[in-house]
Amino acid sequence: MWAVIVLICGCSGPGAAPLASLLTRPETPQINLSRVRGTQMIVPAATADYPPLALVDGVSVMDVWEAGAGWELAFDGGFARDRYFDPATDASVDEPIEWEGLRRDFRQGKEQSAFGWVLFQLGRERVVESVTLHSVDTEEMPARDYGVRDVLVQYWDSATGRWLPVVLADGDTPTHHTVTANTLARLAIDFHPVRTDLLRIAIRWTNDAVRKRSFTVLGRREEYVEATVRLTEVEVYGDRAEDDELADTARQSMPDPDADDGLPADVGGSDAIMSTVLTYVEAYAARDLDALVQTIAPSYASEGEDADGLAKRMSQTFDEFPHFRFRVTDANIERRDGSLAVVSARYWLQLNPLLARSTEGALIFGLSKVGDTWLITEIRAEPL
């Protein structure tokens, strides 16, 4: 049973496919996304004395490794023996996303294994470019003897349905191990920016790891590893919400107000129509029910649902799926006739980022002009 930690501290804070992609290094100020409101942190196991919440409390230096000092996870080679796949089965079949690719040889501590991991659900798609790990480093337990040694940093690419390794900032190709042979208490990992809302930090080896051997009753030799992961703080740095490509994509779809589109000019024209759709999409992605409702006309009616019904349904969706992922691309005005307009777009929706299931298709908006404002009167989703 892995533990899920919902972060409520810190400041509040998807775009063209693929959903998680390599980007140019952003120039906007960076924030610690691990402490942004709405971020969830997941670890494979937790104890009361060394809770994972200590990883995001802002305290990275400890004089003594004691209860509450950080997160601790013991690995004895049989860490997964009673809870994971039977050795005779294929671990790649129906493998949970949080462990995907990390436990094929978990007993031996070989290349395809990990002692543990820290996974961050960022709430929505973000640009991420740096991770800092703080290992235990006390007089009795120095990092060179007890800290994290080998680390793999990965991001989830929903376009391919795979975890992909990051590429170090001073490199040009991904590697199986992001960092090896580390002896420092503070391990800062800078990499080429990626866009994603799931980031996984796999601990492949620690400085106290010891390979051991045992023999079965039949005399067969088995190898295993004993180790303990000890971390005091984990920081994930990326861009502020302003860097979100969602708004950029929608705005790029807006017609050029100076271009002649062959339609009669009117007050609150094409850009006003697209602005309403953009506001709806941004509110949906940000789970902002108040802002979303303001884009809906009182006369809204779609598939037997009125404006109040839409608001109630969206409220339930936001409550039930607080970490869904939603993106809209290729928005275009299909028709505009006086006070009526139709906008088409493509959408992609994944209600639970830890599951592979998603839906996509065409999204049709009907709008009408109420006074000087364009409001949505109908929303219809159609399969591609």
User: What local confidence, expressed as pLDDT, does residue 259 receive?
Assistant: 44
- Classify residue 141 as exposed, middle or buried by CB count within 10 Å of its CB (0-12, 13-18, 19+): middle
- Which pLDDT tens digits describe the chain residue by residue (384 residues)? 444 444 333 332 233 222 233 344 444 457 899 988 778 899 988 888 999 989 998 889 889 999 889 999 988 764 443 344 344 444 444 567 777 777 655 444 444 578 889 999 998 888 899 999 999 999 999 999 999 999 999 999 888 888 999 999 888 888 778 999 999 999 999 998 898 989 999 998 999 998 877 666 666 666 778 899 999 999 999 875 443 444 444 344 334 434 444 444 443 468 889 889 988 988 888 888 999 999 999 999 988 899 999 999 999 888 888 777 788 888 888 878 888 999 998 888 877 665 556 788 899 999 999 888 899 999 998 876
Q: Give 149's DSSP letter.
A: E
Domain C-terminal end among 183, 213, 240: 240
3-class secondary-structure state, position 292: helix
Whether residue 224 sits in one domain with residue 259: no
Whether residue 347 sits in one domain with residue 322: yes
The CATH code of the domain that includes 249 is: 3.10.450.50
Domain C-terminal end among 195, 219, 240: 240
User: What local confidence, expressed as pLDDT, does residue 361 receive?
Assistant: 87
Whether residue 219 sits in one domain with residue 277: no
CA–CA gap between residue 206 and residue 129 (Å, rounded): 24
Please, where are the H alpha helices in the chain?
143-146, 245-252, 270-286, 289-293, 307-320
Whether residue 236 sits in one domain with residue 257: no
Whether residue 271 sits in one domain with residue 133: no
Whether residue 316 sits in one domain with residue 292: yes
Q: How big is the chain by its Cα radius of gyration, in Å?
A: 25
Whether residue 102 sits in one domain with residue 12: yes
Whether residue 53 sits in one domain with residue 184: yes
Which residue is listed with tokens 């649902």? 305
User: What local confidence, expressed as pLDDT, does residue 90 receive?
Assistant: 45
Spatial neighbors of 309 by CB under 8 A, at least 6 apart, are none
Task: Specify whether the CB–CB gap between 266 and 341 falls below 8 A.
Answer: no
Whether residue 298 sits in one domain with residue 169: no
User: What local confidence, expressed as pLDDT, does residue 218 receive?
Assistant: 67
The CATH code of the domain that includes 38 is: 2.60.120.260
Q: How many domains does the chain have?
A: 2
Amino acid code (one letter) for 229: V
User: What local confidence, expressed as pLDDT, does residue 71 receive?
Assistant: 95
Peptide bond into 18 cis (omega under 30): yes
Element (H, E) at 225: strand 221-239
Whether residue 267 sits in one domain with residue 205: no
Whether residue 161 sits in one domain with residue 72: yes
User: What local confidence, expressed as pLDDT, does residue 182 receive?
Assistant: 96
- Structure-token pair, residue 217: 């009753």
Domain of 71 in residue numbering reads as 3-240
Whether residue 184 sits in one domain with residue 46: yes
CA–CA gap between residue 310 and residue 279 (Å, rounded): 16
User: What local confidence, expressed as pLDDT, does residue 219 receive?
Assistant: 64
Which residue is listed with tokens 């106290």? 208
Spatial neighbors of 265 by CB under 8 A, at least 6 apart, are none
Domain C-terminal end among 240, 272, 289: 240
